Amino acid sequence: MRLSAALRHACRTSRSGAGQVRVLSPRGSSTAREERSAGWAPVRGTHYTSGSSGGSSAHSLSLQSRSPRLRAEHQHAAREIIEKSREELASVLKAHPAIKPTLAIIQAGEDDILLEMNTMMAEKVGLNVMQICLPRHCTEEEVIEEVLRLNEDQNVHGVFLCLPPSILSRRILNTIKPEKDVDGVSDLNVGRLVSGALSEGFPSPVAGAVLELLSRQDASLAGKRAVLVGLEGPLKVILQYLLQDAGMEVQTSRWAADNLQKQVKQVDVVVVMGTENTDLLPISVKPGVTVINCGSALMPEISAAEERAREAECWTEIGPISAALRMQNVVRSSVRWVENQQYQTWTLRPLKLQPLSPVPSDIEISRAQTPKPIVQLAEEIGLLPEELEAYGRTKAKVRLSLLTRLQNQPNGKYVLVAGITPTPLGEGKSTVTIGLVQALSAHLKLNSFACLRQPSQGPTFGVKGGAAGGGYAQVIPMEEFNLHLTGDIHAITAANNLVAAAVDARILHEATQSDKALYNRLVPSVNGVRRFSPIQLGRLQRLGINKSDPGTLTPEEVRSFVRLDLDPAKVTWQRVVDTNDRFLRKITVGQANTEKGHSRQTQFDIAVASEIMAILALTDGLADMKSRLGRMVVGSSRSGQPVTADDLGVTGALAVLMKDAIKPTLMQTLEGTPVFVHAGPFANIAHGNSSVLADQLALKLVGEDGFVVTEAGFGADIGMEKFFNIKCRASGLKPDVVVLVATIRALKMHGGGPSVTAGAPLPKEYIDENLQLVSEGCSNLKKQIEIARLFGVPVVVALNVFKTDTEAEVDLVCRIAEASGASAAVPCHHWTRGGRGSVELARAVKETAAQENDFHFLYSLQTPIVEKIRTIAQKVYGADDIELSPEAQAKIEYYNQQGFDTLPVCMAKTHLSLSHMPDKKGVPTGFILPIRDVRASIGAGFIYPLVGTMSTMPGLPTRPCFYDIDLDPNTEEITGLF
């Protein structure tokens, strides 16, 4: 029996590994259905009865067709199963029309008998069938290769192995994902059956068909006897268990057993496997014995005796019912798959902390805790295995497909951690962020996620050290967090410097070649054919040249196409490196003889200052990122027109370099709660926030009642303002509460205390109680609360308590904060106690986030650039007005002409003061804010005015952090990170 011509025409054929793949859709097999409309397909399976009513003899056995009543009952049973499965699948497809549930059949050779039966059943249910025909003498590895591919195919919800027993090894059976093992033969599914947990697995359709046939007999199965002949492996175990569970006495036998005839004479049911002896002659059986051949439902080969019997008679047996049950399992697999795509309740298992006093170093604390395997954490928070890309044992990338899967899931609460104007030592925003999520998840049992920026190597080896938090509120392993992580900054460095190389190469080639030579190299002839690349066609369209044939361009069009005419003096794109290196602040490139005198002055920035980093932090997906990369302006032509990465032809290559960096990295806190680490733009020249994508993913994962806590860089006047006006515009997300971090030492500094220097001992004013300095310094805290309230968002003040702080100082700050408009002010002890030390903060955040707020932007995008700058200067910084330099005024006019005036503004100013003067603490007043220059990050999507002199390349101090960092060559343990 072969596939009909119409059915073969419905197949789509391709090659995958060693197997030929054919996919049959339900609608494609209508002709086959019409050809077989008389009834179910005849399949191999027999019912043997005695030829006489009185006794039996060795030669009295005859093959008889079932009675019309029994045949009709079996057809009805299969139809019932199919109809129920069809209705169940229709319900699934109605709710999720994009899925295409498919049964994949892997077989050796191209025999289509079994395929036709399963295809007919699948068509009645509404399933697709994929046939994979391997060579008849295929190897175990060839089968496993196909199974592994099908495991990863989300449209395949069932895998059926139609292979000879000589190939069907346990290794192959256990390679199938349990959720796709619709024949129920893997060790896990067999174990589930025997242990009574079958709701998580699948029953064997062959065993199920046997039970279905037997259950439709008039008499009860209890007390009857059965023998299983020739059955081996999981099917033998399953049938033996199911028949015994039904109350039957079960024996097993091999075909060659000496006592086979004796066993057969004594039983009521004979279940056989194998084709060489399935006619059972000359074995005698009792009158009315039921004989079932399981091989008819598993293998396409037919013995000569059976083939002759089929020519004479037609019967219905195990084949149709087992095929119907197999389709039922495929449908149930697709239902479970759909259920797994929905939001999953967290099963988070927090890690226990045992804080020590005095508190050890950060790296000692980190190393003392054993993190959970990242795959375990991912499972606990509802991530699917296919959404995770592990980078070792403790960190992993999360694929953006999660956003599509959970697109209808309501977001959780959105919490921003900002700070007062900091000291050079930092005030602990990261530790507050981590302590807060540890308290929410591990202690209040509320789903929560921390979203942090990836630290730059520059500060890690320079002055500040790492940024994983500190004490008992940190991300672990902290050395992995602070060093290479998953390579995102390296990818940004590579992409940024590729653009820089493309800029200088293009300037050189245009200066040293004719139009014709440039054109011939930019659009070369390959095998006698010249074609524009897609990005070149895009450039032609932007130039208004609507041609696609390279041979049809006029000389004027060729010149316009090949000449970017970049002005070397107006190149704005810099090279980057992720190291503090002051001697790269100004360099000269092109001094080698090979550059033919085309030298120019340029500079290096630190990698996190690259516009590509800002793009990574603001993008919402690959398509958006690629578009933003293409819009990046690298300089101006001599005629004053902006030149972009698209014009250079480098956009596609940049997207390739960034394709993995766009995925957030999953890590965990000391208490085993989840953290996303992603992006790390500078907060003084860029917007200084972790990525939009990390926040979006986390908000879906925590659920409607959960919390996502994300951190903004530097003080609220910089990081928070940019979070609201830039990041929230890009993401469309609405914040629920601001946590404003303050420290006694920073408030004392703003109250007139002496300056502090990293690495130097603190003056006594910061160690001894001084309520006057604290009270006067609270002016900065009041101002930062006021800034948050400008945007209509409620504020909770988190006072990061140090051991030198007194109770009177702490109480004073909390009273002033609440009197100044904060919804709550809470002292926090997370550094010494972990999440338990921030429980009161967590409760205050939960209560405040439940309140309605009136979040709004500070300005409209339609507001002129100058007025946007003035609004921020006056309302946020407290300036009387702004003063534009002639260069800044000229730049603004240029951006207006180019249509960039509707972009938000990202102010680049010092983080050490509300003003542009780092030494002016507290709340400076009566000053004019000078705008030295105005630049544009068109790809990132903002204009950034420069307030005073801003360095984009930090320098190393006299004694950098790297003096203390070392590696033990024997244990490979890192020391000196903090």
Catalytic residue among 236, 395, 464, 891: 464
Domain shared by 899 and 830, yes or no = no
Q: Which of 518, 618, 620, 613 is nearest to 574 (CA)?
A: 613
Rg (CA), the chain: 36
CA–CA dist 842, 464 (Å, integer) = 28
Instruction: Clarify whether 802 is annotated catalytic.
Output: yes
Give the pairing of strands 566-571 and 674-677.
unpaired
Give the dihedral sign, CA 54/58/64/70.
positive
Do the domain assignments include residue 962? no
Catalytic residue among 429, 539, 727, 921: 429
Catalytic residue among 315, 346, 481, 714: 714
Domain shared by 479 and 534, yes or no = no
| Chain centre distance of CA 286 | 63
487: how many CB neighbours lie within 10 A of its CB? 15
Domain shared by 525 and 420, yes or no = no
Provide the domain limits for residue 224: 205-324
Domain shared by 128 and 225, yes or no = no
Which CATH number belongs to the domain containing residue 920 in this structure? 3.10.410.10
CA–CA dist 660, 606 (Å, integer) = 21
Catalytic residue among 724, 831, 900, 942: 831
Domain shared by 808 and 872, yes or no = no
pLDDT digits (tens, 9 = 90+) for 871-883: 999 999 999 999 9
Number of separate helices (H) and strands (E) present in the chain:
36, 37
Instruction: Clarify whether 429 is annotated catalytic.
Output: yes
Question: In the prediction, which pLDDT does 316 show?
Answer: 35
Catalytic residue among 453, 575, 745, 783: 453
Cβ–Cβ under 8 Å, residues 418 and 716: yes
Cβ–Cβ under 8 Å, residues 439 and 835: yes
Domain shared by 821 and 677, yes or no = yes
Domain shared by 628 and 665, yes or no = no
Domain count, the chain: 5
Do the domain assignments include residue 719? yes
CA–CA dist 809, 641 (Å, integer) = 58
Domain shared by 502 and 625, yes or no = yes
Instruction: Clarify whether 831 is annotated catalytic.
Output: yes
Which CATH number belongs to the domain containing residue 87 in this structure? 3.40.50.10860
Do the domain assignments include residue 822? yes
Catalytic residue among 645, 683, 686, 822: 683
Which CATH number belongs to the domain containing residue 683 in this structure? 3.40.50.300
Catalytic residue among 316, 431, 460, 644: 431
Domain shared by 672 and 772, yes or no = yes
Instruction: Clarify whether 920 is annotated catalytic.
Output: no
H or E element that contains 855: none
Do the domain assignments include residue 924? yes
Measured in degrees and rounded to the nearest 5, phi and psi for residue 126 equal 110, 20
Do the domain assignments include residue 969? no
Domain shared by 703 and 562, yes or no = no
Residues in the chain where the model's pLDDT stays below 50: 1-18, 27-66, 275, 277-282, 300-316
Instruction: Clarify whether 453 is annotated catalytic.
Output: yes
Domain shared by 170 and 246, yes or no = no
Do the domain assignments include residue 482? yes
Which CATH number belongs to the domain containing residue 254 in this structure? 3.40.50.720
Domain shared by 677 and 791, yes or no = yes
Do the domain assignments include residue 777? yes
pLDDT digits (tens, 9 = 90+) for 709-728: 999 988 999 999 999 999 99
Which CATH number belongs to the domain containing residue 615 in this structure? 3.30.1510.10
Do the domain assignments include residue 495? yes
Instruction: Clarify whether 927 is annotated catalytic.
Output: no
